[in-house]
A and B are shown apart, each in its own frame.
Chain A
Amino acid sequence: MDNLFQRSLEDLIKGFRLQLLGDSSFISRALEEIRREIKATDLSTKSTALHKLSYLAAIHGVDMSWAAFHALEVVSSSRFHHKRIGYQAITQSFHDQTSVLLLITNQLRKDLNSVNEYEVSLALECLSRIGTRDLARDLSPEVFTLLGSSKSFVRKKATGVVLRVFDKYPDAVKVCFKRLVENLETSDPQILSAVVGVFCELASKDPTSCLPLAPEFFKILVESRNNWVLIKLLKIFSKLASVEPRLGRKVAEPICEHMKRTVAKSLVFECVRTVVSSLSDHEAAVKLAVAKIREFLVEDDPNLKYLGLHALSIAAPKHLWAVLENKEAVVKALSDDDPNVKLEALHLLMAMVTEDNVSEISRILMNYALKSDPLFCNEIIISVLSVCSRNAYEIIVDFDWYVSLLGEMARIPHCQRGEEIEHQLIDIGMRVRDARPQLVRVSWALLIDPALLGNMFLHPILSAASWVSGEYVEFAKNPYELVEALVQPRTDLLPPYIRAIYIHSVFKVLVFCLGSYFSAQESSSGSSSTVYESILNLVNVIEIGVWPLSGAYDVEVQERAKNVLGFIGMAKQDIAKKVNLQDNEAEACRVTAFMEDAFSEELGPISANAREKVCVPDGLELEENLGDLEEICGKFLKPVESDSVSCTDKISFSVSKLRIRDQQEASSSTSLPPKESSSLLAEHRKRHGMYYLTSKKNDPDSNGTPNDYPPANDLASEILLDPLDPKRKAKHRKSRPVVVKLDEGGESRITTSQAKTKQESVTDDESLSRDIQSALLVNKKGKEREKCEGNSNLVVVQEEETSRIEKPQNSEKKKKKKKNGERTSRKHRSRRRSEVASSSEQVEIPDLLL
């Protein structure tokens, strides 16, 4: 009489609402109770306990895997009520690793064979959710039988299970596929819907294997008025058209018919999507689809607006005109309340960007970025950055404008894309020589902007700005101001690695100024006191600014600061002496000239595939086991450690320092001109040529002349001149500057690796598709050898047709034995079918695939 005092599920739910214990303690109490009750031998008590447990698991996320065996016991009850509770628990909690899964096979088989259709339905539902390979294999005969059940309720559910069975046990296709195809001819809308659903999934996995069924699908596409079915069919055809483009012409017309006829937006949208994604060559269909998209866009319904934009973005790559036609709506959507809508609009706007409108669109977007929330603002910024930089700034003609835009971006309050902006500032500096003056102007403005130093997201931008102004200092209007910006006290807000770059830039500016000071003396041979004053000022500012950093905690900062100070210390005396060129032996003059020379080496972009171009030297064993490397290194490294002065060439500056020493030694013995460093480089190149990129036009001797730009790397520079001036271009636009673009030869490698992964993923479904194909082949056995000429695809479909005509007769024979009541109707249908089939043999099939 446990039963009498047991709380039902309803009691539990009510109790939960009234309890004052707090959720978790109430649940643990209830669980305690359930654990006790579920052990009862009485199935009624057990099932109620299980029911409560399922509830707690579904709603409160309680673990119920421990009750797996109890669920099996409840399912074995003869009462429908218990069974239902048991199956619900199982579908909810079983998974492939559940240990008692093996015990369920017989129970499922028994219920699948039950005379009670609702019990069959429970078992089918369960199988559709927990079916493993073993279950699918053992129960596929039952599923096969049910696919032909006279009860449409059962047949429909059996169809729903087929997909799981196929997925887990592809061999089942051989058994069940034929019945599935037969069900395509059913007049029962629910069964048809279920079957089409199955084929929709099969076609998305492997379109080719479903291709022979195209005539059947086509017939349903034309005849059906059921929106659920039609949507699935459109998905099927969109997959099939991807492997058989000729199908497109055939289906375009009925799809347009549906688009014109239906009022159901879901169907219209599916038609639109099918057309813009798979039938994009069919002009009339695309036009109609775009007209429908426009209807969506002007609706107030946010769902339609979103889907309209989404459809436009599918259409954009092939039909940009469709986007341009709706530009207004797209721009308007940028200020929508819905983030999804805004994002779609942004993507569309970026798809529209061309050389001609890039500045206009960027202007619009920057205005939106200023007033947007941080998330969308950064989405805008990154979109503009990535579109503009695509393919080595393909669409940018006016780099002065673009560089200013980058500077503007840095000043948008929410901007967090410092790293990308940093990269582009440097990248443009290296690639686009003509952009450098503007780059230096913008950089200086960034450096003196007090707001940037306080925002750590923007520090990378400052890093780039400081590098640019040091590297291209020759374009600076006022080096003194530049230095002031670089040594301003607030730079202590920057992380050390950026400060190091600042100091290095200061060094470059200093070298540049001293260099021009000395050479100015050379030319005018007399030293004007104002020039002298200003150079002294500069040196003092640097000294005052950098000196505190020589005690910096960070070694990088400290070292660079000391380098600068050391250089100043050396040069200062000579400046004070007002050296001139005649004083050839002055150390400062010589060193400055040397440093200038070292810095004048232009840095170019390096191809991402540069390393691949280096061929492996003869005799280098790459595959060799390096196990004993440590031993070798141990011997090798120890002595180096003891005199570690000469081998740390990690920091570029140290290298330059070394070079100075080398050069001093060299010049003292051979008295070479200060061009030494480049000739050293040339010598290095001669000796270790294989480590350099192969270069045809590079001639190290002509280092200073402008026409050998770009240096060092194998650069396929590309000059883009204005193409066929349309109207306004000729008037005020200057021609696009040279943009250094590298020949990225690595693409083939990437695509092959992609292909490989693609292939790997395909293998999963391979067995399934193979089985589908062989199942289809069974249907056309016999006549295969007769017609082999002509288009193979055509032959396949024709044979498929002819064999289908015979099929109903076969099934008729079987049916006769069973004394089926619907024989006459069946016969009638089969006749009708053969008519359709034969007529389609003459007209439809060649049309369909040609």
Chain B
Amino acid sequence: GTDDHSSDLFWESRINMIHFVLLVSRQGKVRLTKWYSPYTQKERSKVIRELSGVILNRGPKLCNFIEWRGYKVVYKRYASLYFCMCIDEADNELEVLEIIHHYVEILDRYFGSVCELDLIFNFHKAYYILDELLIAGELQESSKKTVARIISAQDQLVEAAKEEASSISNIIAQATK
């Protein structure tokens, strides 16, 4: 059963700083989710619904933190997208704000002035980049250059494999002619 914890939204023991990452558009559409603490699918939907309701309704001149169910959610709006990360009360809000900014900068560098559409169509890329930035809910790479290098190396790996595949299928296709 996936609904073992559906009664409460709280995860048992904390082993990571960031509990989840959420990207929501101004219209309330989810653009990316990443969960570092165990949630069931039901809880995930509930969290998303609850938080996007609160965050989208906050005015522009307010602070970037909200207290939520005993946790803190740090969010920042970039163009039409809200980037949100959930942390514990005792964690450093400004640091998380910097992590968010860091992520946005890396995305920007990767896509070349990133926009919402880039993230919609390259959802998996945004995911892979996040995975190079954070591991187990901790920041693991603070150098933008390094992240860019690692990502492009992996892209090349995939491209090479694809080329190989397509050339083989070409060969087969020609052979069966």
Q: Which of B38, B90, B136 contacts A163 (CB 8 A)?
A: B136
Question: Which candidate, B78-86, B103-111, B127-135, is the interface stretch facing chain A?
Answer: B127-135
Q: Which chain A positions have C-beta within 8 A of B131?
A: 125
Q: Which of A55, A125, A228 contacts B124 (CB 8 A)?
A: A55
Q: Which chain A positions have C-beta within 8 A of B171?
A: none
Q: Which chain A positions have C-beta within 8 A of B120?
A: 13, 17
A288-327 vs B, CB cutoff 8 Å, 1 = contact: the mask equals 0000000000000011011100000000000000000000
A176-212 residues with Cβ-Cβ distance < 8 A to B are: 189-190, 193-194, 197, 201, 204
CB distance B142 to A190 under 8 Å? yes
A435: interface (CB < 8 Å): no
B3-43 vs A, CB cutoff 8 Å, 1 = contact: the mask equals 01000000001111100000000000011111110101100
Task: Name the residue on B nearest A768 (C-beta).
Answer: B13
Q: Which chain A positions have C-beta within 8 A of B142?
A: 189-190, 193, 226, 228
CB distance B65 to A96 under 8 Å? no
Majority SS of interface residues in chain B?
mixed
CB distance A190 to B153 under 8 Å? no
A205 to chain B, nearest CB (A): 8
A78-104 residues with Cβ-Cβ distance < 8 A to B are: 79-81, 84-85, 88, 92, 95-97
CB distance B154 to A161 under 8 Å? no
Q: Which chain B positions have C-beta within 8 A of A269?
A: 92-94
A491 to chain B, nearest CB (A): 41
A45-67 residues with Cβ-Cβ distance < 8 A to B are: 51, 54-55, 57-61, 63, 65
CB distance B140 to A303 under 8 Å? no
Q: How far is the CA of A124 from the CA of B138 in the complex (A)?
A: 14
Q: Which of A124, A156, A164, A303 contacts B93 (CB 8 A)?
A: A303
B124-161 vs A, CB cutoff 8 Å, 1 = contact: the mask equals 10011001000110111111001000100110011001
Q: Which chain B positions have C-beta within 8 A of A197?
A: 17, 138-139
Q: How far is the CA of A51 from the CA of B124 in the complex (A)?
A: 9
Q: Which chain A positions have C-beta within 8 A of B38?
A: 95-96
A766 to chain B, nearest CB (A): 13
B177: interface (CB < 8 Å): no
A338: interface (CB < 8 Å): yes
Q: Which of B94, B153, B154 contacts A303 (CB 8 A)?
A: B94
Task: Name the residue on B nearest A343 (C-beta).
Answer: B67
Q: How far is the CA of A17 from the CA of B116 in the complex (A)?
A: 13
Task: Name the residue on A nearest B159 (C-beta).
Answer: A81
Given A160-B136, A307-B93, the answer on whether A201 and B2 have CB atoms closer than 8 Å is no
A118: interface (CB < 8 Å): yes
Q: Which chain B positions have C-beta within 8 A of A96?
A: 38
B37-89 residues with Cβ-Cβ distance < 8 A to A are: 38, 40-41, 44-45, 48, 59, 61-67
Q: How far is the CA of A118 from the CA of B45 in the complex (A)?
A: 31
CB distance B94 to A265 under 8 Å? yes
CB distance B141 to A164 under 8 Å? no
Q: Which chain A positions have C-beta within 8 A of B33?
A: 58-59
Task: Name the residue on B nearest A94 (C-beta).
Answer: B38
Q: Which of B40, B65, B92, B143 contacts A231 (CB 8 A)?
A: B92
Q: Which chain B positions have C-beta within 8 A of A337?
A: 59, 61-62
B90 to chain A, nearest CB (A): 8
B170 to chain A, nearest CB (A): 13
Given A61-B44, A80-B158, A340-B67, the answer on whether A156 and B140 have CB atoms closer than 8 Å is yes
A313 to chain B, nearest CB (A): 12
A129: interface (CB < 8 Å): yes
Q: How far is the CA of A618 from the CA of B95 in the complex (A)?
A: 65
A396-437 vs B, CB cutoff 8 Å, 1 = contact: the mask equals 000000000000000000000000000000000000000000
B130 to chain A, nearest CB (A): 11
CB distance A340 to B124 under 8 Å? no
Q: Which of B13, B64, B127, B138 contacts A160 (CB 8 A)?
A: B138
Q: How far is the CA of A157 from the CA of B147 in the complex (A)?
A: 13
Given A80-B157, A81-B161, the answer on whether A190 and B15 have CB atoms closer than 8 Å is no
Task: Name the residue on A nearest B94 (C-beta).
Answer: A266
A134: interface (CB < 8 Å): no
A523 to chain B, nearest CB (A): 66
Given A61-B41, A269-B92, the answer on whether A340 and B127 have CB atoms closer than 8 Å is no
CB distance B161 to A79 under 8 Å? yes
Task: Name the residue on B nearest A16 (C-beta).
Answer: B120
CB distance A125 to B41 under 8 Å? no
CB distance B63 to A58 under 8 Å? no
CB distance A156 to B141 under 8 Å? yes
Q: How far is the CA of A118 from the CA of B17 in the complex (A)?
A: 24
Given A96-B38, A307-B93, the answer on whether A190 and B143 have CB atoms closer than 8 Å is yes
A233 to chain B, nearest CB (A): 12
CB distance A58 to B138 under 8 Å? no
B115: interface (CB < 8 Å): no
A550: interface (CB < 8 Å): no
Task: Name the residue on A nearest B158 (C-beta).
Answer: A81
CB distance B153 to A118 under 8 Å? yes
CB distance A124 to B135 under 8 Å? yes
Task: Name the residue on B nearest A191 (C-beta).
Answer: B140
Given A61-B41, A157-B140, the answer on whether A95 and B2 have CB atoms closer than 8 Å is yes
A764: interface (CB < 8 Å): yes
CB distance B63 to A305 under 8 Å? yes
Q: How far is the CA of A79 from the CA of B136 in the complex (A)?
A: 25
Q: Which chain B positions have C-beta within 8 A of A88?
A: 124, 127
B112: interface (CB < 8 Å): no
Q: Which chain B positions have C-beta within 8 A of A796?
A: none
Task: Name the residue on A nearest B37 (C-beta).
Answer: A129
CB distance A228 to B161 under 8 Å? no
A303 to chain B, nearest CB (A): 5
A691: interface (CB < 8 Å): no
Q: How far is the CA of A765 from the CA of B17 in the complex (A)?
A: 18
Given A81-B162, A194-B140, the answer on whether A303 and B92 have CB atoms closer than 8 Å is no
CB distance A338 to B158 under 8 Å? no
Given A95-B38, A231-B95, the answer on whether A164 and B136 have CB atoms closer than 8 Å is yes
Q: Which chain B positions have C-beta within 8 A of A497?
A: none
Most central of B34, B140, B141 by chain A CB within 10 Å: B140
A320-357 vs B, CB cutoff 8 Å, 1 = contact: the mask equals 00000000000000000110110000000000000000
Q: Which chain B positions have C-beta within 8 A of A97?
A: 1-2, 4
Q: Which of A118, A193, A338 contacts B157 (CB 8 A)?
A: A118
Q: How far is the CA of A765 from the CA of B13 in the complex (A)?
A: 9
A762-821 residues with Cβ-Cβ distance < 8 A to B are: 764-765
Q: How far is the CA of A149 from the CA of B36 in the complex (A)?
A: 25
A128: interface (CB < 8 Å): yes
List 18 other contacts, CB 8 Å, given A61-B44, A97-B1, A302-B63.
A13-B121, A58-B127, A59-B33, A61-B41, A95-B2, A164-B136, A190-B141, A197-B138, A228-B142, A265-B94, A266-B92, A266-B98, A269-B94, A273-B92, A302-B64, A338-B61, A340-B63, A764-B13
A–B Cβ pairs within 8 angstroms, 22 of them? A44-B165, A63-B2, A80-B157, A81-B161, A88-B124, A88-B127, A95-B40, A160-B135, A160-B140, A161-B136, A167-B13, A194-B138, A201-B15, A228-B142, A265-B94, A266-B95, A306-B65, A338-B62, A338-B63, A340-B62, A341-B62, A765-B13
Closest 9 CB pairs of A and B: A266-B94, A160-B135, A128-B136, A302-B63, A338-B62, A306-B63, A81-B158, A266-B95, A61-B45
